[in-house]
Chain A
Amino acid sequence: GEQVEQRPPHLSVREGDSAVITCTYTDPNSYYFFWYKQEPGASLQLLMKVFSSTEINEGQGFTVLLNKKDKRLSLNLTAAHPGDSAAYFCAVSAGTNTGKLTFGDGTVLTVKP
C-alpha cells in the first residue's frame, strides 16, 4: 500500500524565516494531496488541497508544491510567525475515495520570536 515519508520530524526557525516540509509518497496512482495543521490539543485543520500534476498553490503565508514525477509534495511557509507553531501533516489519497488518507508522520514546527 501507499507509504508516505515526511521530513523533517521537527523544525525550529526564527520569526520571519522560511520553513520547508517535504513529503514523498510511493503510489504513482495517488492523485489527491492535502496539508493539515494541528495545534496542541486541537484537531486537524485543512490548510490546502492540491490535485494537478505539478502545481503551486499559494495560501496565506505559505506555498504548496506538488511534483508528481518525483512523487514529492512540499509545504513552504514563507515568513513564519509564532502563530504558525504547530504540527503539520501531509496526506495522500489514491482513486475516488479521497477520505481514505495515508498520512505522513508529521512535522512539529516551532517558530521562535
Chain B
Amino acid sequence: NAGVIQTPRHKVTGKGQEATLWCEPISGHSAVFWYRQTIVQGLEFLTYFRNQAPIDDSGMPKERFSAQMPNQSHSTLKIQSTQPQDSAVYLCASSSGRINQAPLFGEGTRLSVL
C-alpha cells in the first residue's frame, strides 16, 4: 500500500509568490490533516478534513493560507504571497477516521521562501 503522497518534495519560491502543496491520502482514509514543522515552533497542527469537509482550521494563519479537499483523493494547501517565515516542512497525514487510529504522515514538502 502506498503511504501518504506529497508533492512536490521541495519547493522554492520568491517572496510574494504563491505556493500550492499537494497531498494524496492513503486510499480509504477519510480524515486528512495538515501540519507544519519548523525548528523554532516544532510540529504545529494547521487544519483537518473529514470526508472532504473542513472540520477544524484552528491552526491555520488567518491570512494567506487556505486548504481545500475537492475530492477524496487529494488535498491542497495554498499559501498566497509567501513570506520567509512561511519556510517550513509541511506535512500531510491521513487516518481512517476511527477514534483510536493514529494519523500516518507523508514525507512532507519542504518550502523555502527566498
A: which residues have CB within 8 A of B?
Answer: 32, 34, 36, 42-46, 49, 51, 89, 91, 96-106
Contacts and interface: CB of A to CB of B under 8 A. Distances in A.
A98 B95 contact: yes
A107 to B, nearest CB: 12
Given A43-B105, A46-B104, A101 B45 contact: yes
A99 B31 contact: yes
- 6 tightest Cβ-Cβ pairs between the two chains A and B: A103-B43, A44-B105, A43-B107, A99-B103, A43-B105, A99-B33
Interface size class of B (residues with CB under 8 A): 20 to 34
Q: Give the residue among B33, B93, B99, B107 with the most A Cβ atoms within 10 A.
A: B99
Contacts of A89: 43
A96 B56 contact: no
B101 interface: yes
Contact of B99 (A44, A98, A106): A98
A99 B108 CA distance: 16
B55 interface: yes
Contacts of A36: 105
A43 B108 contact: yes
28 contacts: A34-B102, A36-B105, A42-B107, A43-B91, A43-B105, A43-B108, A44-B91, A45-B105, A46-B104, A49-B102, A51-B100, A89-B43, A91-B43, A97-B48, A97-B56, A98-B99, A98-B101, A98-B103, A99-B31, A99-B93, A99-B103, A100-B33, A101-B35, A101-B43, A101-B45, A101-B103, A103-B43, A104-B42
